Amino acid sequence: MSLREQFGTDVLLAGWGHSRFGKLTDETLESLIVQVASEAIANAGVQPADIDEIFLGQFNSGLLPLGFPSSLVLQTDPALANVPATRVENACASGSAAFQQGVKSILAGTARTVLVVGAEKMTQAAPELVGSALLGADYDMAGKRSTTGFAGLFATVAQAYEERYGAVGDVLGSIAAKNHRNGVANPYAQLRKDLGEEFCRTVSDRNPMVASPLRRTDCSPVSDGAAAVVLTSERFRSGSAATVPVRLAGFGQANDFLPAARRDPTEFAATRVSFERALAMAGVGLDDIDFAEVHDCFTIAELIMYEVMGLTEPGQGRRAVEEGWVFRGGRMPVNISGGLKAKGHPVGATGVSQHVVSAMQLTGTAGEMQLPDPRRAVVQNMGGVGIANYVSVLEQV
């Protein structure tokens, strides 16, 4: 049963906006929000007065003094005065959490047109503050000192994976190189340089070990940026949008236990459930998907996502790399945008950004990133070490 059959309506991504990601010293959280919200509204062919509800995905966790940003979106246009606006936070999945809240408002019939924004301003904070803020998303390390931060948590995952399935250092280097190569074609990406496999596989002064076995090239950067999307239904979409819309075919969410002791470090069980729920709602299988945008905060996460989504059996994710499945032109291209690894990871913006770059692919507006006529995509975003998990299936209308 499809989403439309289950709920009696469809949900469309009608317009979107995206800022550049990186160290944006001349931008503020407010200016980034206003930029992408303005773009999304204009591209959807609607007026600000047509927006019934707003959801803003932002993590913050002390990165900025302002801890109450929901009404910053109203700065976009005076016509947004009195529109309900809610900030949504679910760690690194805050953007997709906001997206799904917007979807549910459409499905519930409480809104006809919803504006979803994801934004984060991080680079102004000292590295120590960034590290402690991000560790606030971990049950065991919140409030504790750490020299490796979240990289240390995913290094523990990588170590457990290697103990169970064998060394993966070269495979992780290949994933990093792939995503850096893909990022060159993405005008929004923070890191637009093809570093090559040898550099990404090798520990050096320019690519030091951060938390063994993860090198600097295995870690996504600290980033500023924002993205936005307008959600509506076929009944209420504008005829003057900048492009055709994209349909949400299915979505899934699943949360795992917070304490690490209650989770298998290599299984990402709740992430798997979120994939299963989204694909089941869409009524499709993995063979029906043309490309994927996944949450590669660290390269080990992308490797495990190959297994979690069902592309390979557990412990066999390296096959997807070694046999070229996840590269441009392969069986299932993954992170054509460059992923978090090269595009950047402004935490609250990431989930919305993944939906936007996928919508661009499905409407043939992705520029140099464009794949040849993709019809269906899967988007996966997670918070913590596989704790808060969101998956969407998007398709051409």
Q: What percent of the chain has pLDDT over 70?
A: 100
Our answer to whether residue 345 is catalytic in this structure is yes
Structure confidence at residue 2 (pLDDT): 80
Q: What is the mean pLDDT of residues 364-382?
A: 98
What tokens were used for 185?
């074609």
- The answer to whether 150 touches 271, Cβ cutoff 8 Å, is no
Given 92, 200, 219, 297, the catalytic residue: 92
Q: What is the mean pLDDT of residues 328-348?
A: 98
Q: What is the mean pLDDT of residues 191-210?
A: 98
Average pLDDT, the chain: 97
Q: Does position 1 have pLDDT exceeding 80, yes or no?
A: no
Per-residue pLDDT tens over the stretch 54-78: 999 999 999 999 999 999 999 999 9
DSSP letter at 338? -
Pairing of strands 53-57, 85-88: parallel
Q: Does position 326 have pLDDT exceeding 90, yes or no?
A: yes
* Residues contacting residue 152 through CB under 8 Å, at least 6 positions apart: 146, 211
- The answer to whether 115 touches 73, Cβ cutoff 8 Å, is yes
Structure confidence at residue 118 (pLDDT): 98
Structure confidence at residue 382 (pLDDT): 98
- What single-letter amino acid sits at 251? F
DSSP letter at 334? B
Q: What is the mean pLDDT of residues 231-249?
A: 96
Structure confidence at residue 241 (pLDDT): 97
Q: What is the mean pLDDT of residues 117-141?
A: 97
Our answer to whether residue 297 is catalytic in this structure is no
Given 180, 295, 345, 355, the catalytic residue: 345
Q: Does position 337 have pLDDT exceeding 90, yes or no?
A: yes
What tokens were used for 181?
């190569």
Structure confidence at residue 76 (pLDDT): 98
Confidence of residue 9 (pLDDT cuts 50, 70, 90): very high
Per-residue pLDDT tens over the stretch 66-111: 999 999 999 999 999 999 999 999 999 999 999 999 999 999 999 9
Q: Helix %, strand %, coil % for the chain, to 5? A: 40, 20, 40
Please, what are the domains in the chain?
Answer: 3-126+222-232 (3.40.47.10)
What tokens were used for 167?
């060394």
Q: What is the mean pLDDT of residues 368-396?
A: 98
